[in-house]
Amino acid sequence: VDLLRVTGTAKGGRITREDVVAYVKFVLSGATTPASGGLGFDLPPQPKVNFSRYGEIDVQPLKKIQKVSGAYLHRNWVSIPHVTQNDLADTTDIEAYRKAVAADKGIKLTPLVFLIKASVAALKKFPTFNSSLDETRENLVMKNYFHIGIAVDTPDGLVVPVIRDCDKKDIFELATELSELSQKARDGKLKPIEMQGGCFSISSLGGIGGTSFTPIINAPEVAILGVSRSRVEPVWDGENFQPRTMLPLCLSYDHRVIDGANGARFTRYLAACLEDFEGMDD
Nearer to ligand CAO, 206 or 263 (CB): 206
Name the minimum Å distance from CB 101 to ligand CAO.
12
Catalytic residue (one of 74, 82, 147, 255)? 255
Nearest partner of 2 among 20, 25, 14, 18, judged by Cα: 20
**DSSP 8-state symbol, 101:** H
Name the minimum Å distance from CB 183 to ligand CAO.
9
Chain centroid offset of residue 82 CA: 12
Q: Which of 204, 218, 252, 267 binds ligand CAO (CB under 6 A)?
A: 204
Evaluate whether 229 touches 210 at the Cβ level (below 8 Å).
yes
Task: Count CB atoms within 10 A of the CB of residue 73.
Answer: 16
Q: Which of 120, 122, 148, 150 binds ligand CAO (CB under 6 A)?
A: 150
Number of H helices, E strands in the chain: 6, 11
Q: Site size for ligand CAO, by CB under 6 A?
A: 20
Name the minimum Å distance from CB 122 to ligand CAO.
17
Name the minimum Å distance from CB 155 to ligand CAO.
11
Task: Count CB atoms within 10 A of the CB of residue 62.
Answer: 10
Name the minimum Å distance from CB 274 to ligand CAO.
11
Name the minimum Å distance from CB 77 to ligand CAO.
11
Specify whether 255 is catalytic: yes
Residues 171-190 as x/- pattern, contact with ligand CAO by CB under 6 A? -----------x--------
Any contact of residue 229 with ligand CAO (CB under 6 A)?
yes
Among the candidate windows 104-112, 139-147, 189-197, 233-241, which touches ligand CAO by CB under 6 A?
A: 104-112
Any contact of residue 247 with ligand CAO (CB under 6 A)?
yes
Any contact of residue 258 with ligand CAO (CB under 6 A)?
no
Any contact of residue 112 with ligand CAO (CB under 6 A)?
yes
Any contact of residue 110 with ligand CAO (CB under 6 A)?
yes
For 218-236, give one letter per residue: b (16+ CB within 10 A) or e.
bbbbbbbbbbbebeeeeee
For 177-212, give one letter per residue: b (16+ CB within 10 A) or e.
bbeebbebbeeeebeeebbeebbbbbbbbbeeeeee
Any contact of residue 159 with ligand CAO (CB under 6 A)?
no
For 122-158, give one letter per residue: b (16+ CB within 10 A) or e.
bbeebebbbbbbeeeeeeeeebeebbbbbbbebeebe
The reply to whether omega before 220 is within 30° of 0 (cis) is yes
Active site residues: 255
**Binding residues vs ligand CAO (CB under 6 A):** 108, 110-112, 150-153, 158, 182, 203-207, 215, 227, 229-230, 247
